[in-house]
A and B are shown apart, each in its own frame.
Chain A
Amino acid sequence: MTELKYVGKYIPIHDAYEKVKGKLQYVADMEMDGMLHAKLLLSPIAHGVIKSIDVTKAEALPGVVKVYTYKNTPQNLYNSQKWHVGLEVVKDERLFTDKVRFVGDRVAAVVAKDKSIAEKAIELIEVQYQELPIVLDPEEALMEETIKIHDHGNVIMEKEISVGNVNEAMENAPIVVEDFVDTQKVHHAAMEPHICMTAIDSTNGLLTIWTPCQVVFQVRLIVAEALGLSLNRIRAIKTTVGGSFGGKGQPILEPVCAYFTYDLGVPVKLQLDRAETISSTRTRNATIGRVKTAVDKEGNILARDIDVLVDAGAYFTNGEAVTIAMGKKAFRLYDIKNQTYKGTAVYTNTPIAGACRGYGSPQIHALTEINIDNTAKKLGLDPVEFRLKNLVKPYAKDPTGGPELGNARVIDCLLKGMEVFDWKSKYNRPKATGRFVKGVGMACATHGSGYYNAYPDFITMDLRVTEDGEAILKASLHDLGCGTIVTIKQIVAEVLDINPDKILVPEADTLVSPFDSAGTQASRVTFVCGAAAKKTAELVKEKFTKHSADILKCNIDDILYKDGFILNKNNPQAMVSYGDMVMLIQTSLKEDISVSYTYKSPANPAVYGVNFAEVEIDTYTGLVRVIDIVAVHDIGKAINPVFVEGQVQGAIQMGIGFALTEEIVIDNKGNVKSNNFSKYHVINAPDMPDVKVHLIEAGEEFGPFGAKSVGEVSTVPIAPAIINGINHALDINITSLPATPEKILAALNNKKNLIGG
């Protein structure tokens, strides 16, 4: 392969310069003439029917323009998860509800001349509720038949995925290890709280939405459904995102804010504060899991049985999809012939769950990877050795008939990490007997690269070489801070041999971007959109070559591209710049060097990550310090290695929080106790360990230059690796996330009592 000029190099994120200057505008920084400000009234109770709402005092406050409730807004049902029109899913959300289902449900809104007036007016709305009994615990939701959160009952769905004969294998197995693992609701904690701005664009009459979103076409679809408008009346523009991680994937504020503008005809901004963002937007689904793993004495996995109860919160959103996504992952990491996954999702009167980085993978892997360690322990095997016996090999088949795993390099990751981390000696060293005890843990994980085989996964791109020799790529791309735009530029630059600085890649806008089926979701962007960019660029180049040959009067095979010039290799002196060539082609051939191409993803290869963690536990206080992390990823090819490292390091920060400190704590009335950052503890710099990132770049057939995904898988193995490290250090069995100091000390006390008694 020829040496790559742009791919595999670090180029800073496209808007880095404006970001470090503080000049880049986020929606919070945008203003429009005559813009009004909206504030939501969120339910203070977890379950109840609204008996009456009196808005007269609020409306009478000077500066208030209008108050909205279920009484004067469309009541069309929608599901904010629905990102493509063919997705059949239960619709149970409305702009404003007459029955509140969690503390944070939307009851009303005030639109006023400024924010502080809106805030004051909210206090003046008088609501009387008929309170209903509440269901907070998913296990209770499963059993409860009289308290119905929605009319169709509390159980959203049940789904089983099964291969082989689990019962038979279990019965005959010499060793079966069972674990119960629960995971908590967490907040995405993007630094930018949820926000949206809407206006009627006076130049074209379109209801225009500026939103830090992940899928503009989803925003357009949901707003159209909620407001009962045609798609063509709505324009969604993706703005700079101050972090999303799935949290801004589902349109939450967009339909509400759009309705205010639709009704009033003026620009409106709706911005949540942190407490509202934590309690009323979306969370990661909490889970309660049971797993049984059967092994033979040599450590080969014979069968596995998994049962997961998923807490969807108060509305359906993606409760079903995430439950199924979790199950699928269980079949793509180890070679297990007999396996059953049963997933059940329920409603509870708690904050709504939605997409969250990893989409079920962190939960299912916490369950299975803690159990894998416990199984190894039972066998008396090093957990790395046990995994090595059972991990999938490259090009293994998904036993459920799922997409091909592709060049699955998890074993390479494991071996590399083991060596770099010095696993053997750390795992086997004697434990300290004093207050501070160190331990090591590791875990493996898998995730996908797009939607192929599950949902439509295609994107249309429109690429053109301009008259001055630069290029413009129009596509529905959403950079969430991960470097998508530069990544795509690097790919196009490599194919066309144009400096990435000379390629314009605007972000998604439903009015100007060609259609994309799924947006920035499902770890699809580099693998699918990147491949689309590569293919489109190749087609452009083909066209450019063909027409250049006509201009230079030579064969196609004689055309050479060199440093921004095109030449006939038999007459290398006559070099023509890209721009001049485009001009000549336009003039003489009446042709445009542009291609619009719809790329359909042909694959959804598995990606793998393996994390090694060293932890130190203060056995007096139960506090855990993560000292060292080695993260190894099977990425195929890193288009921009610094971006990849950044993704992994940030994902580790998120995963440490999931393992140790982050939790949306809900009291017995359904109130979120940890609704600000003084109580919701994300990991800050002093608690963040050094993260050493290593990449296995073995190439993936359908990925651009061999690349596959990393953004989501990188947050998956870390939590079980840390929990396994704690359990290794202290010889306890923590199976409940987060592993708070309280849980650790309780486990230590239990151990002491068992030994003592």
Chain B
Amino acid sequence: MNEIVIKSPTTLKELVQILAVADNNTYMLSGGTDFIIKMRREKINNGTIINLKDLKELNYITNTEDYVKIGGITTLTEISCSSIVDKYATALKEATGKVGSTQIRNAATLAGNIANSAPCADTVTALMALSAKVKIINGSGEIYEKKVDDIVLGSEKNSLKRDEVIIEVNIPIDLEARSSFGKIGSRTAVTISKLNMAVTFKYNHEMVINEAMVVIGAIGPKAFNSSTVANSLLNKKINTQFIYLFEETLQKQVDEAILGRASHPYKREAIRGLADDIMKRMFPQIMTGGELS
């Protein structure tokens, strides 16, 4: 008879010991909100499940001068309510607050969301726009960093080896940058993104953009960093004209990405809404939204 074994390490040391013998039938279980559905649907009934939830030492949100550090089992609710995240990684606060329902956010973890690597994962889009890295531990006890972008392969695939676990997410702090996230689904709340986007802007006192990062999610197997859109915004002054340019280049980007797909006509229009939402949130004094169009 097939057998599932659950191991619940309580320290990193125990985790490493378990990881050392991980094989192809080893599964990482964090909040469980995606995994348990998958496990039942795909009828996974043998192997080892490593329950990460008892690694209490991985439940934290702190910051140094350079980084916001989020422990691997920290829940999305905890992140969305964190003043540290709000201050230094606004896009992540906004994204975590919009994932699933209250119950889902209470269980789901940021590390789990990254590892799950769904094309529409809201947090991944935000983390990419924040140039976030993850800290990984492996079965040899080695700890190293990788970019979120490198972990997420998309279409629910990640690049983690079978003995690797995300133990921390690191978001660089840049006091001159501001970020924001937006999503569009079928409902106001509890909805899978049809489209999501996160941006990080740096601008001078004259409101001229000198650095930009624009990440668009749910229009491909994974969120992608659009340098085309970002570059088009460089050296532009953030004013009422700016949004038209932003929307226009986003539309071109969507055309480039998914032209010919059934979802294209909708997404090329709807992305304007995302741009408008984000700009309104970031620059309420300038952007009065659609009233201009």
Q: Which residues of A contact B (CB under 8 A)?
A: 123, 432-436, 618-623, 625, 661, 678-679, 681, 683-684, 686-687, 740-742, 745-746, 749
Contacts and interface: CB of A to CB of B under 8 A. Distances in A.
B206 interface: no
A625 B188 CA distance: 9
Interface string B255-293: 000000000011001101110100000000000011111
Contact of A678 (B184, B189, B192, B265): B192
Given A433-B291, A745-B270, A620 B192 contact: no
Interface in B23-63: 43
A186 B56 CA distance: 45
B186 interface: yes
Given A433-B291, A434-B289, A434-B292, A622 B269 contact: yes
25 contacts: A123-B43, A432-B291, A434-B293, A435-B273, A435-B276, A435-B289, A436-B289, A618-B273, A619-B290, A620-B270, A620-B273, A620-B290, A621-B184, A622-B269, A622-B270, A625-B188, A661-B186, A683-B187, A684-B190, A686-B190, A687-B187, A687-B189, A741-B186, A746-B265, A749-B269
Which among A432, A625, A681 has the greatest number of chain B C-beta atoms within 10 A? Answer: A681
B191 interface: yes
Nearest to B290: A435
Interface string B50-94: 000000000000000000000000000000000000000000000
Contact of A436 (B187, B270, B290, B292): B290
A123 B43 CA distance: 10
Nearest to B195: A621
A661 B265 CA distance: 19
A432 B290 CA distance: 10
Interface residues of B, number: 22
A432 B291 CA distance: 8
Contacts of B289: 434-436
* In the A-B complex, the 5 residue pairs with the closest CB atoms: A435-B290, A620-B273, A434-B290, A621-B273, A434-B291
A681 B185 CA distance: 11
B76 to A, nearest CB: 17
A473 B290 CA distance: 62
Contacts of A123: 43
Interface of B: 43, 184, 186-192, 265-266, 269-270, 272-274, 276, 289-293
B93 to A, nearest CB: 19
Given A621-B274, A742-B265, A742-B266, 9 more contacts: A435-B290, A620-B270, A622-B266, A684-B190, A686-B187, A686-B188, A686-B189, A745-B269, A745-B270
A687 B187 CA distance: 7
Nearest to B262: A742
Contacts of B272: 620
Given A434-B289, A618-B273, A681 B266 contact: no
A686 B98 CA distance: 13
Contact of A681 (B186, B270, B291): B186
B188 A687 contact: yes
Nearest to A625: B188
Contact of B265 (A433, A625, A687, A745): A745
Contacts of A625: 188
A678 B273 CA distance: 23
Nearest to B41: A275
Contacts of B187: 661, 681, 683-684, 686-687
A400 B270 CA distance: 49
Contacts of A687: 187-189
A615 to B, nearest CB: 14
Nearest to A743: B266
A497 B184 CA distance: 57
Contacts of A619: 290
Nearest to A748: B269
A621 B290 CA distance: 12
A663 to B, nearest CB: 10
Contacts of A684: 187, 189-190
A687 B190 CA distance: 10
A623 B192 CA distance: 14
B139 to A, nearest CB: 32
Contacts of A432: 291
Which among A436, A625, A745 has the greatest number of chain B C-beta atoms within 10 A? Answer: A745
A721 B41 CA distance: 40
A618 B191 CA distance: 17
Contact of B191 (A621, A622, A681, A740): A681
A105 B292 CA distance: 54
A617 to B, nearest CB: 11
Nearest to B289: A435
A298 to B, nearest CB: 40
Contacts of B189: 684, 686-687
Which among A622, A683, A742 has the greatest number of chain B C-beta atoms within 10 A? Answer: A742
Nearest to A681: B186
Nearest to B268: A745
B2 to A, nearest CB: 9
